[in-house]
Amino acid sequence: MSSNKKESFPFRLPAGWDFDRIAKLCYILIVCVCGMMMRNKLMPHTSRDMWLYLERWYNYFADNGGFKAVGDDVGDYTPLYYYYIAALTYFKSISPQTGLKILSIIFDFVTAVYAMRIVELREKDGHLPYIAFTAVFCLPTVVLNSATWGQCDVIYSCFLVMCLYYMMKGDDRLAMIMLGVSISFKLQAVFFAPFVGILLFKKKIRPLNLLWIPAVYVISIIPAAIAGGDFWRLLTVYFRQSGQYDDLCMSLPNLWALWEEVDNELLGPAGIFFAGICVVTVMYYYVTRKQLKMTCNTMVALAMISAFAVPFVLPHMHERYFYLSEVMFVIFAFYYRKRLWLIFTSQYCSVQALSGYLFGKGSIDRRWLLLIEIVNIVTVYLCLKEEMEKPRDEEVLMKWEKAEAK
C-alpha cells in the first residue's frame, strides 16, 4: 500500500516526508495566505485611535529626530512601543498606519503558532494543533484588532501565551521573562496575575525568578532614559495611567455594564478595591485546593479564568480588554473539546462590544452580553472543578513532574 501511495505523487518525496506532513504544510500555507489577504482588505480602514493617537505620535518622532525623541513625554504608552514607532519613521515609503498594523499582524502569527504549540502538548500527532492555529489566526476579534483597528493588544497577549507555554513546559524562568516583556509593553499583562500567584503558592514558580519581571521592565526603559527621558517618569508611567478614565464601563460586557449609565466619581476607585478582593478570593480558593494538581489541563483552565476574571471585575475597562481571554477561550476549547461552543459565544459578545467603536453600529444591550459571559466563565469553572475531581494515576503525575523538573 505504501508503494501505491508514493506512485500517486508526480515527484519523489524527501526522506522522512509523507502525505500527512505535506497535507499539514499545504493547509497552513493556505490558511496564512487567506488570512493575510483578509487582513489586506481591512488595512485601509482608519480608526479613531489611529489618527487621534498613533499617527500623532509617529509625526512627533518624525519631526524630532526619531530615536532621539523616544525619551520624551509623548503619550501614555511605555517606551517599548515607541521604539518601534521611532524606527518606522526612518522608512518613509511605509505609511504609519501600514507600518503599525504590520507589527500587530506579525504578532497575530506568532500568537497563533504558540497556541498551536500549547495544543500540541496535548495532541502531539493529531490535526487539532493546526486547526487551533487557524482558529487563533483567523479569529474575528484578532483580525479586527490588528488589521482594522491598528491596535497592539496582540503583542502583550502574545507574550502571555508564551508565558503559559513555558510554564506548561516547566521553564518558570523563561515564563517570567515573557511576563516581564508583556508588562513592559502594557499594564494589561496584570490579567495573568492570579494565574502566576496560584502557581507561585503551588511551588511551580521559584520566587527568585519573579525578579525577572521588574528586571525586564527596567531594561526596556534604559534606551529611553539614555535618550534624555526622566528615569522616574519612565519607571512610574503606569501610576499615571491609572486615573486616566472616569467611565465605569467603556463598552466591555463585564460586571460594570450593569452601571454603565451611572456617573459617579467615587464608584470607580472603590470598584478597584472590590476587584482586588475578587481576585484574591479566586487565588485563595485554588491555592487551598489540595486536589488541584498542576497538569497541562489545569494550567490552561487557570490561565483562562485569570485572563477573564480580572477585566470582568475591574471598572474602566475598554471594549477590547477581553482580547487575551478571547485567545484563551480558543486554547481552552481545544483542551476541553466538549466546550468548543465557548469560542463562538465569546466571539459573539466581543464582536458586539467593539462594533460600535469600529463601525458606528451599536450592539445589543450589554447586560444581555454580560449574561452570556457569565455562562462562559461558569462553564470554565465547572470544567476545572470536574478536572480536579478526576481520579488520577499517580504514576502518570510523577512522570509529568519529573519531566517538568528537567
Does residue 296 carry a pLDDT above 80?
A: yes
Please report which confidence band the pLDDT of residue 149 belongs to, taking 50, 70 and 90 as the band edges.
very high
Does residue 378 carry a pLDDT above 80?
A: yes
Does residue 121 carry a pLDDT above 60?
A: yes
Q: For the residues 102-126, what does the mean pLDDT come to?
A: 93
Question: Closest Cα to residue 85, out of 100, 69, 105?
Answer: 100
Tell me if the pTM is above 0.85. yes
Between 2-11, 323-332, 352-361, 367-376, the lowest mean confidence (pLDDT) is in 2-11
According to the 3-state scheme, what is the secondary structure of 285-324?
A: HHHCCCCCCCCHHHHHHHHHHHHHHHHHHCCCEECCCCHH
**What residues contact 315, with CB distance under 8 A and at least 6 apart?**
248, 249, 256, 267, 268, 271, 272, 275
State the residue for C-alpha cell 458606528.
360
Does residue 62 carry a pLDDT above 50?
A: yes
Q: For the residues 227-252, what does the mean pLDDT come to?
A: 80
Does residue 45 carry a pLDDT above 60?
A: yes
Please report which confidence band the pLDDT of residue 89 belongs to, taking 50, 70 and 90 as the band edges.
very high
pLDDT in tens, 177-212: 999 999 999 999 999 999 999 999 999 999 999 999
Q: Taking the CA atoms of 386, 391, 392 and 393 in sequence, report the sign of the dihedral they define.
A: negative
Q: For the residues 238-253, what does the mean pLDDT come to?
A: 75
**Report for 120-134, 236-250, 388-402: range of highest mean pLDDT:** 120-134
Burial per residue of 141-177, b for 16 or more beta-carbon CB atoms within 10 angstroms, e otherwise: bbbbbbbbbbbbbbbbbbbbbbbbbbbbbbebebbbb
Query: How far apart, in whole angstroms, are the C-alpha atoms of residue 79 and residue 73?
Result: 10
Q: For the chain, what are the domain ranges?
A: 18-405
Query: How far apart, in whole angstroms, are the C-alpha atoms of residue 175 and residue 163?
Result: 4
CA of residue 272 relative to chain centroid, distance: 22
Whether the CB-CB separation of 331 and 306 falls below 8 Å is answered with: no
Q: What is the pLDDT of residue 404?
A: 54
At 250, which helix (H) or strand (E)? Answer: strand 249-250
DSSP 3-state of 404: helix
Query: How far apart, in whole angstroms, are the C-alpha atoms of residue 405 and residue 171?
Result: 9
Does residue 5 carry a pLDDT above 60?
A: no
Q: For the residues 284-295, what does the mean pLDDT come to?
A: 91
**What residues contact 369, with CB distance under 8 A and at least 6 apart?**
253, 257, 349, 352, 353, 363
Q: What angle do CA 349, 325, 253 make, to 5 degrees?
A: 35
Q: What is the pLDDT of residue 3?
A: 47
Q: What is the pLDDT of residue 7?
A: 46
At 249, which helix (H) or strand (E)? Answer: strand 249-250
Q: What is the pLDDT of residue 160?
A: 98
Q: For the residues 393-397, what does the mean pLDDT come to?
A: 51
Is beta strand 317-318 parallel, antiparallel or unpaired with respect to 249-250?
A: parallel
Q: For the residues 356-368, what does the mean pLDDT come to?
A: 79
Of 204 and 3, the structure prediction assigns the larger pLDDT to 204
Question: Mean pLDDT across the chain, nearest whole number?
Answer: 88
Does residue 406 carry a pLDDT above 70?
A: no
Please report which confidence band the pLDDT of residue 134 belongs to, taking 50, 70 and 90 as the band edges.
very high
Q: For the residues 296-302, what does the mean pLDDT come to?
A: 95
Whether the CB-CB separation of 318 and 328 falls below 8 Å is answered with: no
